[in-house]
Structure 1
């Protein structure tokens, strides 16, 4: 295998010496007189190894090393330094250099170091190639679904994941937009860089600009220190803008400029900062209607809608309900220390018949609750929440949970507390007041059980018979 090495040194004679000493039929050696020239070479040519001097005019060795690690993180760098500056060499190793050699150096020793570094570069390249091949065979393994509607989503994801194009995910609440965004990032070219998520609807309007772009200390009341914004946090990686349709109009103009110019200006600063961010936006709103209503900028809409991916509602991919439910049950069972083998036919039929207005999020919550309630290895129909049936299923317990028409409660917390209390009382009666046994029936720890008894004010001695 042939390799290409770049030598960076302001001493032309040393560069010529290294070209003569290292060049072979399979090793090409190029030179640069300083760090800036070296970066120009790296932009034009594929380089396998950089050998750089420590002290150079203009951009010196440490600055060049930092730039290389930022732009080409897998490119090994060997630093050349004088015997009297071993401390500098150690510092360069801490900052990402592969190795260092001290001047004056032995050519044979340098040759050994160079070939070890090239072997290291080959291993990194082969590992990346294998990862790429694996992702190509199973590109979106983290997403579950075999229905035609969801297969169209997977095809769209696979076609755009390696690019830096802006993506707009649309669909009802709970259809898995953030999960899809994370999968695109994890299986794309920026996988080893940050993924930063921002819910535009959850941040107060007055703080959104600071949250997105950062601010300087003293820029406004309460700015007691510098803050790095989400765009800078996501530099080189992916920025996920969830609920982008709820973004206020004044901020929309600044987001548009950041997407167009790839620059941001923190609040309270007078200079701009360039950022390299891949943006994935998501919304459950009709943005075209918002554009018509003058609540969303038309130019920002078209900037975000470069590659739209609509996500289907769960009722439009009924074929995936059983697979998704099994996946959630395995995960919830592992978290609760239970082994759930599956669902009874009655339970599965009930889930297939329900319209799931809350989509995947609602299904996940339902299965997690049923996993906690289930007393056996299989989730039964009676383990499912009553709203799936329009009324609560009858439980064969002490009559504490009766069938009742499901209505939306006026006080959700109080209603949930009553339901929790009913489950605990039923477990205590079935275990004849033995608290450890009752906790085991509920699938929770004894400590958690004792805490709930105290929180709900349950006196065990009154129901111990």
Structure 2
């Protein structure tokens, strides 16, 4: 769809000429004879740029610019002016206009100026859409779970998000620590400022200081220009230190100093810079135990753990898995072109019974794979990966604590499916193979939601 440009000029003949020129450049246009009419059009129609004369009766270009800046701050405005009014045009740029074009207008100048202004407009619009998308993605309703342990997490997020307090997120890999960190940021007064995430385990040790604090040109071999570090990038916002337990001791001391003094010095620099940055750290390690072993600074631990939040493993909140399934289906189905897909009750039960060693991240990856492979509207138990339905036998006593009823149900269901497959779906024969009567088998089939047909038995 072409961009639409609003032309504002009191010379009707020029409006016609400009409309034709814009059409030749591939733009749509609407016209207004004065500033007041232009403001009415902006309230009614979708416009991408305003091209306005500087000197007009009723409302001049500078007055129109002021109104647009007030009511439509993201709208680019290009001023048209005669040579004698260049000084006024320059002042208009200081007041917020994108650029000006001299009259008489040259087609090449018009094309270049409009293209540059619209490129900026599109970038700003994309950034705003991205900001809104991120803010929506990390609202509280994206923190899904009704279990007691996860409700405690949500309560903690609600208590701390309005503050500047340093937060330490702990939990196994894949439990959603970065999701919680982003939720804290996007629900805080800092949500319009950057959220900068850095994985402390993924940066070469010789580059850590430059990565965090930046450097000045010539401070070391290869420092060809000044560089802003992560603290500078996150100014006014939030810096998320993931895998903070992997940070070397010498850097821990420098991070501690920033937390204490709210200042830092770029590598090779000679002046201090302020650090108006909120720190959220995350780890899957026991930092206190590491401090006892001399591998993590105890004073830094207490600086980071002002407000600790422990994220539960997914196996500790299996009742939340159906909610997470709905969340991931809603998030992924549109981008994958797989709308309206749902999990059968038996498939959801099996997914809820699995231990998920990779936690929420593993579940999300599994759902994405199942959506890609899905052929119909419902994902059935037979569509799940084998490791979700077939578990190796374990020695009694291994892996305690366990949920005995769930383990027994998985064991029983697996043998029922195997018997049905061997009996080609004939229930009487399957019951004989299992050493139970047909009525007992029927009750178990109903309990586990197993649909019986010869074809279904072969597929199960």
Per-residue CA deviations over 1:56-115 (Å, capped at 9, x if unaligned) read xxxxxxxxxxxxxxxxx9xxxxxxxxx99746743542399xxxxxxxxxxxxxxxxxxx
**What's 2:257 paired with?**
257
* Structure 1 moving runs of 4+ over 6 Å: 391-394
Select 2:96's aligned residue among 88, 94, 97. 94
CA drift at 1:383: 2.2
CA drift at 1:332: 2.1
Distance in 2, matches of 1:222 and 1:309, equals 40
Instruction: For residue 241 of structure 2, give the secondary structure of its aligned residue in structure 1.
Output: strand
CA drift at 1:371: 0.8
**What's 2:123 paired with?**
none
- Is the Cα–Cα contact under 8 Å of residues 212 and 229 in structure 1 kept in the other structure? yes
**What's 1:177 paired with?**
177
**What's 2:121 paired with?**
none
Matches within 5 A, 1:209-220: 209-220=209-220
Distance in 1, matches of 2:391 and 2:155, equals 40
Q: Measured at CA, do residues 84 and 217 of structure 1 come closer, stay the same or move farther in structure 2, by a change above 3 Å? A: same
Instruction: For residue 279 of structure 1, give the secondary structure of its aligned residue in structure 2.
Output: strand
Instruction: For residue 185 of structure 1, give the secondary structure of its aligned residue in structure 2.
Output: helix
Matches within 5 A, 1:44-83: none
Distance in 1, matches of 2:285 and 2:263, equals 28
Q: Measured at CA, do residues 259 and 231 of structure 1 come closer, stay the same or move farther in structure 2, by a change above 3 Å? A: same
Instruction: For residue 142 of structure 2, give the secondary structure of its aligned residue in structure 1.
Output: coil
Distance in 2, matches of 1:294 and 1:93, equals 58
Number of matched pairs: 276
Q: TM-score, normalised to structure 2's length?
A: 0.56
- Is the Cα–Cα contact under 8 Å of residues 166 and 307 in structure 2 kept in the other structure? yes
**What's 1:273 paired with?**
273
Per-residue CA deviations over 1:336-361 (Å, capped at 9, x if unaligned) read 10124311122112111110111100
Distance in 1, matches of 2:352 and 2:232, equals 44
Instruction: For residue 95 of structure 2, give the secondary structure of its aligned residue in structure 1.
Output: helix
- Is the Cα–Cα contact under 8 Å of residues 181 and 240 in structure 2 kept in the other structure? yes
Distance in 1, matches of 2:317 and 2:269, equals 49
Q: Measured at CA, do residues 95 and 140 of structure 1 come closer, stay the same or move farther in structure 2, by a change above 3 Å? A: farther
Distance in 1, matches of 2:275 and 2:332, equals 39
CA RMSD of aligned residues (A): 2.7
1:191 lines up with 2:188 in the alignment: no
Distance in 2, matches of 1:309 and 1:388, equals 30
1:222 lines up with 2:222 in the alignment: yes
**What's 1:154 paired with?**
154
- Is the Cα–Cα contact under 8 Å of residues 340 and 379 in structure 1 kept in the other structure? no
CA drift at 1:389: 2.7
Distance in 2, matches of 1:186 and 1:265, equals 28
| Ranges in structure 1 where 5+ consecutive residues have no aligned partner | 1-72, 74-82, 97-130, 395-465
Q: TM-score, normalised to structure 1's length?
A: 0.56
- Is the Cα–Cα contact under 8 Å of residues 139 and 186 in structure 2 kept in the other structure? no
**What's 2:285 paired with?**
285
- Is the Cα–Cα contact under 8 Å of residues 374 and 380 in structure 1 kept in the other structure? no
Instruction: For residue 228 of structure 1, give the secondary structure of its aligned residue in structure 2.
Output: coil
Q: Measured at CA, do residues 94 and 275 of structure 1 come closer, stay the same or move farther in structure 2, by a change above 3 Å? A: farther
- Is the Cα–Cα contact under 8 Å of residues 340 and 371 in structure 1 kept in the other structure? no
**What's 1:373 paired with?**
373
